[in-house]
């Protein structure tokens, strides 16, 4: 089997890259370890920067997003029992963000790939990567996929990163996790709420007009079974509390999970004809809502570089790929670190540290310059 580009991983990054290459007349094969049902129901982030929306529209993958996505013009910060709204269009020169679940992006891209694109092979486990070949297992049988280029979009636990020799890694583990829930109840807010409290961090998000997504800061190694539904709602109520007429709507919780908080970057993101994209190369804590958007940014840059190579023979964009991506990655890492350490209460945190957090939050609420800095990073740097 031969493909001009072999793509390992059928998450948003791998699927969007395949779609963009298809639109540019470059063939590819996507290998995915899991089955289709698993891939389409894997819960991940759902906040899209404008650049991500633009990329999906440009390749014809945004019809349902444009109908069902929820346009948000800002976020709400809560601390000291008060609420502060950040108006993104006003602070950023017109930019906003869109809520549209990653599961739905994947479903849209899978449907397009199967209908119009090259092969998308589920339950195909990549086991070895060379510069011009990927070895994979399908139905227990070893097969070879020859190619011009290999792109690893197989996530943090995939095999692609190991194919980059002499890679340097940088990482940080945080002393807390998120207990996340999906609930069949309309959101209690028009836009996302980021809450800082003495009890810890909380986030109110949504998946649709009828489904809410909420998170609580919890200790590492928390067992979701130790959190019955009433305990979760009571704790959310306490952390979101404000001295205003606002009520947290409760409903049936349909899913619970615990997500550890981690930052990770590997450099470089390329070796010869092997490229990394998305979580295979970098992880950010979800507080800054950057993970999905960084993955999309990576493959947009790579698709343009490959298109230039096949159209003109110029390798300049391919040669610049790693450095170009990493500049944005490190900016996102810093912003995610800033948001995470600003809003969470660390174990053993002193009263002095807590006052520093509140000082910074008050500055964001009171200073247009500080608010604009947060808004520009959140909405996505150009």
Catalytic residue (choose from 12, 22, 33, 72): 72
Catalytic residue (choose from 100, 174, 321, 378): 378
Residue 6's nearest CA partner among 149, 156, 159 is 149
Active site residue 337: no
Q: Is there a contact between 317 and 304 (Cβ–Cβ < 8 Å)?
A: yes
Query: Could you report how far apart the first and last alpha carbons of the chain are, in Å?
Result: 39
Catalytic residue (choose from 194, 196, 204, 282): 194
d(CA 320, CA 302): 10
Cβ neighbours of residue 309 closer than 8 Å, sequence gap 6 or more = 315, 317, 318
Catalytic residue (choose from 22, 196, 290, 344): 290
Residues pairing with 24 in the sheet? none
Q: Rounded to 5 degrees, what angle do the CA atoms 179, 78, 356 make?
A: 95
Catalytic residue (choose from 187, 215, 286, 344): 286
Active site residue 378: yes
Active site residue 72: yes
Residue 364's nearest CA partner among 332, 337, 338, 334 is 338
Active site residue 290: yes
Residues pairing with 305 in the sheet? none
Active site residue 310: no
CA atoms within 13 Å, Cβ hemisphere of 138: 13
What is the set of active-site residues? 72, 194, 286, 290, 378
């Amino acid at each position: 089997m031969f493909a001009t580009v072999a793509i390992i991983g059928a998450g948003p990054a791998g699927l969007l890259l395949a779609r963009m290459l298809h639109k540019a007349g470059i063939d590819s094969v996507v290998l995915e370890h899991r089955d289709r049902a698993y891939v389409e129901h894997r819960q991940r982030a759902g906040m899209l920067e404008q650049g991500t929306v633009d990329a999906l529209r440009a390749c014809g993958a945004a019809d349902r997003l444009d109908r069902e996505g929820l346009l948000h013009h800002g976020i709400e910060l809560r601390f000291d029992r008060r609420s502060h709204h950040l108006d993104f269009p006003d602070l950023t020169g017109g930019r906003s963000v869109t809520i549209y679940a990653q599961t739905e992006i994947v479903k849209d891209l899978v449907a397009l790939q199967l209908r119009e694109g090259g092969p998308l092979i589920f339950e195909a486990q990549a086991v070895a990567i060379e510069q011009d070949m990927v070895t994979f297992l399908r139905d227990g049988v070893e097969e070879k996929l020859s190619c011009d280029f290999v792109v690893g979009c197989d996530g943090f636990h995939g095999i692609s990163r190991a194919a980059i020799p002499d890679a340097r890694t940088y990482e940080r583990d945080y002393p807390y996790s998120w207990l996340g829930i999906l609930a069949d109840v309309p959101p209690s807010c028009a836009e996302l709420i980021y809450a800082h409290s003495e009890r810890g961090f909380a986030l109110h998000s949504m998946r649709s007009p009828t489904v809410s997504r909420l998170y609580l800061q919890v200790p590492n190694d928390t067992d979701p079974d130790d959190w019955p539904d009433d305990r979760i709602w009571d704790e959310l109520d306490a952390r979101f509390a404000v001295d205003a007429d606002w009520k947290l709507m409760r409903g049936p919780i349909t899913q619970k999970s615990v997500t550890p908080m981690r930052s990770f970057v590997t450099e470089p993101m390329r070796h010869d004809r092997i490229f990394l994209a998305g979580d295979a190369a970098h992880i950010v804590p979800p507080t800054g809502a950057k993970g999905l958007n960084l993955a999309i940014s990576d493959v947009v840059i790579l698709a343009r570089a490959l298109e230039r190579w096949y159209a003109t023979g110029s390798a300049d964009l391919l040669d610049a790929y790693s450095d170009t991506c990493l500049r944005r990655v490190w900016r996102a890492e810093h912003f995610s670190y800033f948001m995470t350490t600003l809003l969470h209460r660390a174990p053993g945190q002193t009263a002095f540290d807590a006052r520093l957090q509140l000082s910074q939050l008050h500055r964001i609420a009171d200073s247009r310059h500080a608010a604009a800095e947060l808004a520009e990073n959140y909405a996505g740097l150009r």
